[in-house]
Amino acid sequence: MAACKCGCEQHAVDPQQEALQKMLDGYKGQKGALIPVLQEAQEIYGYLPKEVMQQISKELNIPFSKIFGVATFYAQFHLKPRGRNIIRVCQGTACHVRGGAKVLEAISKKLGVGKNETTEDLRFTLETVACLGACGLAPVMMVNNDTHGRLTPDVAVSILEKYE
Amino acid sequence: MKSLMDKCCDKCTHALDNPCKDYIKCRKEGPICHQDDACKEKRQKILAELHLAEDSQKRQILICAGTGCTSSGSGKLAESLKQELQNKGLSDQVEVKVTGCHGFCEQGPLMIVEPQKTFYTRVAAEDVPEVVEKHLIGGEIVERLLYKEPNTGETAPTYETVPFYAKQKRLVLHNCGHINPEVIDDYIANDGYAGFVKALFEMTPEEVIEDVKRSGLRGRGGAGFPTGMKWGFVRQAAGDKKYVVCNADEGDPGAFMDRSVLEGDPHAVIEGMAICAYAVGADEGYIYVRAEYPLAIERLKIAIAQAEERGILGNNIFNSGFNFKLKIKAGAGAFVCGEETALLTSIEGNRGMPRVRPPFPANKGLWDKPTNLNNVETYANVPYILRNGGAEYAKLGTEKSKGTKIFALTGKVNNTGLVEVPMGITMREIIFAIGGGIQNGMKFKAVQIGGPSGGCIPEELLDLPVDYDSLTAAGAMMGSGGLVVMDETTCMVDVARFFLTFTQAESCGKCTPCREGTKRMLEILTRICDGQGKLEDIENLERLGRVVKSTALCGLGQTCANPILSTLRYFKHEYLAHIEEKRCPAGVCTALLTYKIDPEKCKGCGKCAKGCPAGAITGEKKQPHVIDTTKCIKCGACITGCKFDAIYKA
């Protein structure tokens, strides 16, 4: 089990820290492990805190600068905490020509946050995505892992009520 | 013996540590090692259940569980159907099968009743009792759920008679929607892995490459490089360690054919990669899938595990001495990783930036080893070629573009979905015969093909045969095959800006032409859409586009100007209208619009005035209202609110 560096008792059994350590142990010595490691770390923490990236750097012997470079290059990685529910409004071509921008606008107005922002109560994070590959149902959005299609601004906003 | 893959008796020897050479053949034809009639009968019985005969008393209900239908509620539909069948005691006679994408997403959730091929569309959970009572018990078709042709109102009782399917040639997609992608038996019952076995035991690697060359298959990722030739390069490359990689990083907005193949028939991709590995001499492979496709990743994981369990992947496959291991790498969200060198460096755990070629991946790819990289659809074509021979495959298509191509037909077209057609078909046939024409009786304006790398094709080129070379000549390109149909309400300058916004955000920034060029071109386009355009902007766009095209490092930069150059070529008048007349003919560019109220139609209900956030609308009750254009913020709230269609954009 990962020991706590600050010496206090409570952190000694931090389940997230434990899961991270276990995952890192599994990847040691594997080539090309950085991206899956970051994906799994983000899975554990919901985002990539600085300390976590530092620990990955130490354990896998990869310079921190490289880790930071990779984490900021890919759209999937987040360096700030995110909401409990992730809304991803599709802005693909099909959604674009069928009014995807209006859907985004309506949600943004309803939640009072812009693109890539999180509501204060951490209930929602609003993101856009280049294409969800469900173009037949355009305009589309994903909330967590559920895809919702054939949206209108009103319908999109009302769907959000289901997510606490 | 419950499954096709189980041992029929003790004489059956196949196991991971003692693989049987005749394993796949045996499952289809009955035990070959010991000609036992009882064992053969058992196998045939299972095969008959996987593949219902036309006169079978049993029923199979296929429910689409592609992303499109799932989001329209097909999961709930399957559940309530199973429940209802149980209640009626029909579970033994009717099997509910959850399949991959049927391709006709517009009409989802889709349901097929086999063996009659009855095709039901937009089926909701509430329709289940009626389908069970009327169709499964009474043997009568539920008319109201059949597909109805929007123009003629005619219904189509089976999927073969639906015009959308009737005009297609489904070769790569033949299993999609008809097998359960999570059950390997289904794939094998439909001739799966027969091509792989044929390659392993009846052909040398060189003969496999020859056969692929004979087929004329070209890379389906977009550029259209001859596949057999690429395989030949990798085979000839020096080095004993080689890789095969599958590009499943389908990032083009408007394309989802790779996703559907992965979700609906993952074993076809695995088989294609295994054949390729044997041909080029590789023993390890990677599938690089977008993280945005969780269902595709899930299904691939299941398929790989099932293939490993049966010794179709792993060491000493079917006792041939050939080894092949396959891993999945989830992408992390970067469009540029669809470019081959960027994809490979991303698998290695780096920022996905492309590098200069040569050396090509065929000689120096993953971890500097020779690597064969093809797209999902390319690999999915290979099993068919091996099974039927390259010459048979080459009968389809045009002289230089063989076989079929899957298009993702979307936009303002009646029948959106996946369409697989032989190369050389005209765009008009795809959009009007298969796609059912333009939505809401509007007029066709253009079709955008190939995503951000492609271009727009105007009405006068609709009779162009669709193949790699004719599209390139028209200033577009095949790309991954996304077709977005646009009608008169689409602004072509706005479309060009849309794609540039995308490529500008996705440019990795490594080379100057792409990093700076996309930014400058986007600035100009934004200016034109905002009504600030100048006449010299057009010339500048053309020049910048040409420079970026010829100097950028990778495919992303080299093609990013295509949407601009092709719209300039065919729709220059729209640019000019924006610049000279400060007018957006399609009524899309907000800055160039004014909202007006038609006094004839306005009933003076006051709803628009109440809904206007800027307080720009005034008027007496029951009298026509007016909009103060200086206050109007052009949000469109009044238009959506008006019940009398009295407000319009001009």
Q: Alpha-carbon distance A75 to B410, whole Å? A: 25
Chain A interface, mutation test: which of B289, B351, B488, B649, most A Cβ atoms within 10 Å? B351
Looking at beta carbons, which residues of chain A come within 8 Å of B451?
A: 93
Can you give the pLDDT at residue B51?
A: 84
CB atoms within 10 A of CB B248: 29
Looking at residue B173, what DSSP letter applies? T
Can you give the pLDDT at residue B214?
A: 97
Whether B330 and A134 lie within 8 Å, measured CB to CB: no
Whether B412 and A98 lie within 8 Å, measured CB to CB: yes
Q: Alpha-carbon distance A67 to B244, whole Å? A: 27
The nearest alpha carbon in chain A to B448 belongs to: A93
CB pairs under 8 A between A and B: 140
Per-residue pLDDT reduced to its tens digit, B393-420: 999 999 999 999 999 998 899 888 899 9
CB atoms within 10 A of CB B525: 28
Q: Are B404 and B412 in contact (CB under 8 A)?
A: no
Whether A94 and B71 lie within 8 Å, measured CB to CB: no
This complex has an ipTM of 0.86
**Residue A74: which of B67, B293, B334 has the nearest Cβ?**
B334
A91 touches chain B (CB under 8 A): yes
Distance from A14 to chain B by nearest Cα, in Å?
A: 27
Can you give the pLDDT at residue B276?
A: 98
Can you give the pLDDT at residue A5?
A: 59
Whether A38 and B70 lie within 8 Å, measured CB to CB: no
Can you give the pLDDT at residue A1?
A: 43
Give yes or no for residue A84 having a pLDDT over 50: yes
Whether A140 and B106 lie within 8 Å, measured CB to CB: no
Q: Alpha-carbon distance B243 to B369, whole Å? A: 7
**Residue B294: which of A39, A131, A145 has the nearest Cβ?**
A145
% of chain B with per-residue pLDDT over 70: 100
Q: Is B71 helix (H, G, I), strand (E, B) or coil?
A: helix
Q: Alpha-carbon distance B561 to B180, whole Å? A: 42
Whether B68 and A149 lie within 8 Å, measured CB to CB: yes
Q: Alpha-carbon distance B644 to A152, whole Å? A: 19
Whether A98 and B411 lie within 8 Å, measured CB to CB: yes
Chain A interface, mutation test: which of B292, B343, B480, most A Cβ atoms within 10 Å? B292
Looking at residue B18, what DSSP letter applies? B
Q: Using pLDDT thresholds of 50, 70 and 90, give the confidence band for residue B150.
A: confident
Looking at beta carbons, which residues of chain A come within 8 Å of B367?
A: 31
Distance from A121 to chain B by nearest Cα, in Å?
A: 26
Average pLDDT over residues A31-40: 93
Per-residue pLDDT reduced to its tens digit, B441-495: 899 999 999 888 899 999 999 999 999 999 999 988 888 888 999 999 899 999 9
Give yes or no for residue B220 having a pLDDT over 60: yes
Q: Are B410 and B439 in contact (CB under 8 A)?
A: no
Can you give the pLDDT at residue B256?
A: 87
Chain A interface, mutation test: which of B484, B497, B639, most A Cβ atoms within 10 Å? B484
Give yes or no for residue B333 having a pLDDT over 90: no
Chain B interface, mutation test: which of A77, A132, A135, A155, most B Cβ atoms within 10 Å? A135
Per-residue pLDDT reduced to its tens digit, B113-149: 999 999 999 999 999 999 999 999 998 999 999 998 8
* Of B270, B344, B279, B280, the residue nearest B314 (C-alpha): B270
Give yes or no for residue A10 having a pLDDT over 70: no
B196, two tokens: 């792989």
Average pLDDT over residues B161-169: 92
Q: Which of A56-60, B260-264, B402-406, B451-455 has the lowest mean pLDDT?
A: B451-455
List, in sequence order, every residue forming a beta bridge with B485; answer none if it has no partner: B411, B447
Can you give the pLDDT at residue A2?
A: 46
Give yes or no for residue B634 having a pLDDT over 90: no
CB atoms within 10 A of CB A152: 14
Per-residue pLDDT reduced to its tens digit, B276-318: 999 999 999 999 999 888 889 999 999 999 999 999 999 999 9
Looking at beta carbons, which residues of chain A come within 8 Å of B106?
A: 136-137
B244 torsion bin: left (phi>0), alpha (psi -120 to 50), beta (else): beta
A36 touches chain B (CB under 8 A): yes
Whether A134 and B68 lie within 8 Å, measured CB to CB: yes
Alpha helix positions (H), B247-293: 257-264, 266-280
Distance from B637 to chain A by nearest Cα, in Å?
A: 11
The nearest alpha carbon in chain A to B486 belongs to: A97
Q: Using pLDDT thresholds of 50, 70 and 90, give the confidence band for residue B348.
A: very high
List, in sequence order, every residue forming a beta bridge with B413; answer none if it has no partner: B438
A157 touches chain B (CB under 8 A): no
Per-residue pLDDT reduced to its tens digit, B545-593: 999 999 999 999 999 999 999 999 999 999 999 999 999 999 889 888 8
**Residue B352: which of A73, A147, A153 has the nearest Cβ?**
A73
Q: Alpha-carbon distance B509 to B310, whole Å? A: 45
The nearest alpha carbon in chain A to B417 belongs to: A136
Q: Which residues contact B368 (CB under 8 A, 6 or more apart)?
A: none
% of chain B with per-residue pLDDT over 90: 72
The nearest alpha carbon in chain B to A34 belongs to: B349
Average pLDDT over residues A111-137: 87
Whether A130 and B412 lie within 8 Å, measured CB to CB: no
Whether B332 and A145 lie within 8 Å, measured CB to CB: no
φ/ψ (deg, to 5) at B455: -140, 180
Does B361 or B152 have the greater pLDDT score? Answer: B361
Does B292 or A61 have the greater pLDDT score? Answer: A61
**What is the pLDDT of chain B when averaged over all its residues?**
92
Work out the end-to-end distance of chain A between its first and last CA atoms, rounded to an integer number of angstroms: 34
**What is the pLDDT of chain A when averaged over all its residues?**
88
Distance from A148 to chain B by nearest Cα, in Å?
A: 5
Average pLDDT over residues B339-367: 95
* Of A104, A36, A103, the residue nearest A76 (C-alpha): A36
Can you give the pLDDT at residue A101?
A: 86
Whether A32 and B412 lie within 8 Å, measured CB to CB: no
Q: Alpha-carbon distance B238 to B365, whole Å? A: 12
Give yes or no for residue B645 having a pLDDT over 50: yes
Can you give the pLDDT at residue A158?
A: 94
Whether B251 and A137 lie within 8 Å, measured CB to CB: no
